[in-house]
Structure 1
């Protein structure tokens, strides 16, 4: 459902007419006081003529909203490309449900084969082969030796 205004209500897009809220009937609003059956019928006929245009405009607005959302999402995506032989961590939820205190990432795996773009065949360090895993479920392994040398040198 779009989070921006389509400037049309769902009711008007479905039934080709505007709604009268129950409060307007009880309080006798200007629209209810000056109701004219003949002009109302003419207005309904005009609404039928313009409903397709209103639906097109609404569809265009929703498509523009989705394009903006996709652009914003894709701007934040950081592509990760791994090569054969790289060590990676696998998301723990890829192998089953994860509890609150369970680790988020599983032990290091070795990339054995690139199945297709974004999917890899992994192998555990104890030579157990894993079927292909998608890129979003992998993370590079930080080598602690280079990390400690850079940040904790005296």
Structure 2
């Protein structure tokens, strides 16, 4: 997929578990802009819909503006009523991609 302009479409995914770090963090949420390939990431101790919503608000919306599309996998942190409502309120189209394993 290619985005027609800067910061209009973001990919969002989770990494982990990794070896535990300071503050008991062992996961990371990562967002990548489809046009510029700019990446934003944040370490997390736990993965919840609220933490994902806060990450999107602070690291995407407040820094780069409201995106048109967020593409993610079918993880329960993304595919739930709270996050879907958050995206709907901001008029962000939430797309789910099928995960593939090579």
Fold in common (TM above 0.5): no
What TM-score results when the alignment is normalised by the length of structure 1?
Answer: 0.18
The structure whose residues are more often helix, as a share, is 1
The structure whose residues are more often strand, as a share, is 2
Bigger Rg over Cα:
1
- By relative contact order (CA 8 Å, sep 6+), the higher-ranking structure is 2
What TM-score results when the alignment is normalised by the length of structure 2?
Answer: 0.24
